[in-house]
Amino acid sequence: MVRLVKGMVLVMLVGFSTFSRAELSLQNGWLRLPPPGVSMLAVYGEIRNQGATARVVAELSMADAASVMVHRSQLEHGKMRMRSAGQLLVPAGGQVTLEPQGLHIMVMQFAGTLVVGENIAIDVQTEAGDRYTLLAEVRPTNAIGPALSVSDGQ
């Protein structure tokens, strides 16, 4: 019985920790291994908000990187350009899709080591001050998306 109570207390603590609640997460997160000499990383996936309130991604950071921000790629005068997308609002119960040639998380001056198949972790702070970790899998340099099998019909 004592054990059971301890277990319940632990569950409650985890439930109330802003770090452990994964109400904001990156689903199907992925990035391409950059070619040698390139220190910019573009991260894709769906930022999902499973909470009951909208969340604004205010600050992003990552170990071994100078800066992290949300970019939007768009065609301007026939050229693909990237601009800061500013703060990103993820609606309650909704998601924002990050994809090649669209919105993406841009990591600048990354100086760490990347291994295909492993995850990187990007820290998020929302406007309300909550913190979350977004995970994305390193894919080969020529990857066009997350691992999809033909049978997925995609």
* One residue of 32, 48, 55, 71 binding Cu ion per CB under 5 A: 71
Query: Which positions from 1 to 40 touch Cu ion by CB under 5 A, shown as an x/- string?
Result: ----------------------------------------
Contacts with 6 (C-beta within 8 Å, 6 or more apart), sequence order: none
Cβ(86)–Cβ(70) below 8 Å: yes
Q: Does the protein bind Cu ion through residue 105 (CB under 5 A)? A: no
Q: To the nearest whole angstrom, how small is the minimum distance from the Cβ of residue 27 to Cu ion?
A: 20
CA-CA distance, 56 to 74, in Å (whole number)? 22
Per CB under 5 A, does 106 bind Cu ion? Answer: yes
For residue 55, give Cα distances in angstroms to 10, 69, 94, 124: 26, 16, 10, 11
Residue of the chain from 22, 82, 114, 143 that contacts Cu ion (CB under 5 A): 82
List residues binding Cu ion (CB under 5 A).
71, 82, 106
